[in-house]
Amino acid sequence: MIVKTPAIGIPNSEWKKRAVKFARSNPNIVKLDVVDLCYDCDRHHELLKIFDDGRIDYENSSYYKYSIENSKKNKEVAFKKIKNFKILYNSIKQGVFECPEDRLPIITEDGCRLDGSHKLTILDHIGCRETDVNIFLYDRVFSKKERKKIIADNVIFRKEIYSL
């Protein structure tokens, strides 16, 4: 199966919620190169480096700042996300993390990461080259008209935000 890469993160939306819900209950699993799936994960990589260095100055990270500014989350929620990210990182790094099929990272066929940015960035960070991902195919949920609009919006987003 061919998936457009690099895969990018996209904002939450109603179609994204529907796609994730469907993909989790109807997995379509393929093995893909991890690097191609982490295009825009710089703030995740920065936080992983902070973890590796044993630092706790999370407030200075772009991940924390993004959580506060762009997600409209308070400091407590941002720190909880960081704590959970660190727990996930440590469990994957130690080899004790097992990801069930319904929790695999979800990528659309046109290269939008719907879920799994943390897992994918961690795998990239620790040197894993390939991983199983759940590929969401638009035609399994959306009408032709809906698909056309979603994909067109994704193309615009890729160009405007990532210059792709």
Give the CA count within 13 Å in the CB-facing half-sphere of 111: 23
DSSP lists the bridge partners of residue 77 as none
Looking at the whole model, is its pTM more than 0.85?
yes
Q: SS3 for 32?
A: strand
- pLDDT tens digits, residue range 35-58? 889 898 999 999 999 999 999 999
The confidence score (pLDDT) of residue 91 equals: 93
CA 102, 81, 37, 11 torsion: positive or negative? positive
- pLDDT tens digits, residue range 8-32? 999 889 999 999 999 999 999 999 9
- pLDDT tens digits, residue range 94-123? 988 777 787 899 999 999 999 999 999 999
Q: Helix/strand/coil (H, E, C) string of 107-148?
A: EECCCEEEECHHHHHHHHHCCCCEEEEEEECHHHCCCHHHHH
Residue 83 phi/psi, 5-degree rounding, is -60, -45
Burial of 127 (0-12, 13-18, 19+ CB in 10 A): exposed
